[in-house]
Amino acid sequence: MRLRICAVGRQRDGPEADLVTDYLRRVGRIGPGRGLGPAELQEVEARRGGGVAAEARLLERAIPQGAAVCALDERGRALSSPEFASLLARWRDDGRPAAAFLIGGADGLDPALCGRADSVLSLGPMVWPHMLVRVMLAEQIYRAASILAGTPYHRA
């Protein structure tokens, strides 16, 4: 099952971008043996004046056909890392060819887009900068692949 983080805006070079690249590369090493990967980041350009509805249209085009969709939203459900790994495993075992994780821009995601998602996930009650959300999500995807692979990375 391919994994794609679909995010509004372009991330500048720097430590956050390096971390996302590193975690997605790690998924590429550990995931295929578990039916996960490759993992990638696809950015869509935010357009001024279009608002969240315009961003939603761009994000929808970035979702692979047949993908399970997970919207990241502060009002979503908080999962533990093992629960998140189980969610990915369920989608994989159900034959989904891909999973797309949607990260909105500064104003979040269009509520209609969240309403169509297979899952709405929160990274906690705090609001996080969307550039950091990419890092945190990429790490959790790697952690989920590690949990499914039985490696010692996740020590719960």
- Structurally, the chain folds into a number of domains equal to 1
Task: Look at residue 155 and tell me if it is in a domain.
Answer: no
> Across all residues in the chain, what is the average pLDDT?
94
Q: CATH code at 120?
A: 3.40.1280.10
| pTM assigned to the model | 0.94
Average pLDDT of the residues in 82-93: 98
Task: Look at residue 142 and tell me if it is in a domain.
Answer: yes
Q: In what order do the strands lie in the sheet with 68-78?
A: 39-44, 2-8, 98-103, 68-78, 119-122
- The three-state DSSP-derived secondary structure of 64-116 is CCCCEEEEEEEEEEECCHHHHHHHHHHHHHCCCCEEEEEECECCECCHHHHHH
CA-to-CA separations, 11 to 46, 87, 131, 133, in angstroms, rounded: 12, 27, 7, 11
* Region for residue 14 given its phi and psi (left: phi exceeds 0; alpha: psi -120 to 50; beta: otherwise): left
- Each residue of 31-67: pLDDT tens digit? 998 999 999 999 998 777 788 999 999 999 999 999 9
Task: Look at residue 93 and tell me if it is in a domain.
Answer: yes
- Each residue of 88-105: pLDDT tens digit? 999 999 999 999 999 998
Task: Look at residue 71 and tell me if it is in a domain.
Answer: yes
How many Å apart are CA 25 and CA 46, to the nearest integer? 26
Which residue range is the domain that position 41 belongs to?
Answer: 2-149
On the question of pLDDT at 1 being above 80, the answer is yes
SS3 14: coil
Which pLDDT score is estimated for 156?
66
Task: Look at residue 31 and tell me if it is in a domain.
Answer: yes
Give the type of residue at 17: A
